[in-house]
A and B are shown apart, each in its own frame.
Chain A
Amino acid sequence: MRRLALWLASALSCCAFAASAQEAEEITDPQLERGRAVFIAASCEGCHTAPDDGVFLAGGRAITSPFGTFYSPNITPDRETGLGDWSEEDFARALREGRSPAGEPYYPAFPYTSYTGMSDEDVAALWAYLQSVEAVEAPNREHELKFPFGFRLLLEPWRWMNFKEGRFTPDPALNEQQARGAYLVEVLGHCSECHSPRNRLGALDPDRRLAGTASGPDGRRVSNITPHADGIGDWSEGDITYFLETGFTPEFDYVGGAMVEVVELSTSQMAPEDREAIAAYLKTLPPLPSD
């Protein structure tokens, strides 16, 4: 069971090596602009672009696990090998229900467990943005999974136990900025997927959310980001904001591991007010000690 938890954490690691960052083009259409902001906040690029000058969003990044290797799919609008033949409904279903257009369940290496909370407006904007990127013909590579994990049917009981579909509703006690932060942390940023320990069934432990784990992606430690002394209790909101922008901690240490890529491709490119919202929300979390 520990292996399962490790595998899930590992499979969810979208982030091991820096991928080629596409220069932001001049975007004038407000819908595309919003879509690009969602794309950045949701950290899509890291997983969907192969390392070492891989083609932007053409997939092929290997995500290794004790259960085999996953290869991320092409999400450019190519008709043959990408999302070119998908409808917006297909796309919404993938994000919200974790199912392909044919109805097959996705492995939770794709964090639909968080994306299920996305707003209608953000799903539509992200779809518009993904349709605007260059279509690239790059066939998806089959996952190479060990027996019996190749049987997708096994995902159905896992989903039944561990996946709750539904739009995100922030705690009514949060103010507007904190609620925005909650949406960024819990839904788009899918921070919990790596920063929370998992129970023996591979589900996020609801009582330990964001308290860090010793066995995160690739078996590596992931920091506690609750406002506890073991976590970021002595960081000010300004410290958190500056960290998300630059990767520098208040002691002028520099972030390590998978978070390096998250800072590079996601948090450093967000609007400053979104970084501030994340900081405001993290400060409202219950302080939890590390394991």
Chain B
Amino acid sequence: MRPIGSLSVAAAVGFLLLTPALAEADPAALIQERQEFMKELGSNLKAIRDYVQQGTGSPEEVAEAARHIGERADEIPDLFPEGTGMNEVDIETGARPEIWEDPEDFAAKAASLREAALNFADQAEQNGDDRATMGRGLATLGRDGCGACHQVYREDLD
């Protein structure tokens, strides 16, 4: 499936190698990387939505996309080193200062995304032909996986 192509794999490898160095050296590069990271998760979510709404792709691909999101959720805390919040850099970023006031909770929210996405992947494997149920599951994944964190830690950007 397209969103999990070689580009994303390359990006993932890039993160592993570069994240700690980038944080210290260049907040701008780090912020760009994490925005691309979020967009990559978004492209996988969009692939799931396209299956739910239009029937493109397959339940197996949906499960794979969700599992990919769940596995990458572990990378989130390292993508938010201190000094890269919205009040600390001149670049547009929605990273609220609360992230660094309660890093344990922030990490817990990333763990919730992992859990929600892996649960959804299990659902897709067992019940993937039922697109109405998958649609509700996607809404739940958004609410519990994305919303719980964005509510506190994400500033809305225009």
Q: Which residues of A contact B (CB under 8 A)?
A: 16-18, 212, 220-224, 230-231, 245-248, 251-261, 263-264, 268, 290
**Which chain B positions have C-beta within 8 A of A254?**
142, 146-147, 150
B26 within 8 A of partner (CB): no
Across the interface, A261 reaches (CB within 8 A) one of B45, B151, B154, namely B151
Q: A212 is contacted by which of B46, B49, B154, B158 (Cβ under 8 Å)?
A: B158
The one of A16, A246, A261 in contact with B142, judged by C-beta atoms closer than 8 angstroms, is A246
A252–B154 touching, CB < 8 Å: no
Return the chain B residue nearest A257 by Cβ.
B156
Chain B interface residue bracket vs A: 20 to 34
B contact residues around A251 at 8 Å (CB): 39, 42
Kindly list chain A residues whose C-beta atoms are within 8 Å of the C-beta of B150.
Answer: 254-257, 260
* A18–B154 touching, CB < 8 Å: no
**Which of B147, B157, B158 lies in contact with A264, CB distance below 8 A?**
B147
Given the complex, which residues of A lie within 8 Å of B138, measured CB to CB?
Answer: 246
Query: CB-CB < 8 A to A261: which residues of B?
Result: 151
CB of B155 within 8 A of CB of A257, answer yes
Task: Show the binding face of B for A, using Cβ within 8 Å.
Answer: 38-39, 42-43, 45-46, 49, 94, 138-139, 142-143, 146-148, 150-152, 154-158
Across the interface, which residues of B come within 8 angstroms of A264, CB to CB?
A: 143, 147
**When the two chains form their complex, are residues B42 and A253 in contact, meaning their CB atoms are under 8 A apart?**
yes
What would be 27 A-B contacts, judged by CB atoms less than 8 Å apart?
A: A221-B158, A222-B156, A223-B156, A223-B157, A223-B158, A224-B158, A230-B158, A246-B139, A247-B142, A247-B147, A248-B45, A248-B142, A251-B42, A252-B49, A253-B38, A254-B150, A255-B150, A256-B94, A256-B151, A256-B155, A257-B151, A257-B155, A258-B151, A259-B156, A263-B147, A268-B139, A290-B158
Going nearest first, the 7 A-B pairs with the smallest beta carbon separation are: A256-B154, A252-B42, A254-B146, A260-B151, A256-B150, A260-B147, A252-B46
A247-B142, A248-B49 as given contacts; A255 in contact with B156, CB under 8 Å:
yes
| A47 CB → nearest B CB, Å | 15
The verdict on A255 contacting B158 (CB below 8 Å), with A246-B142, A248-B45 known, is no
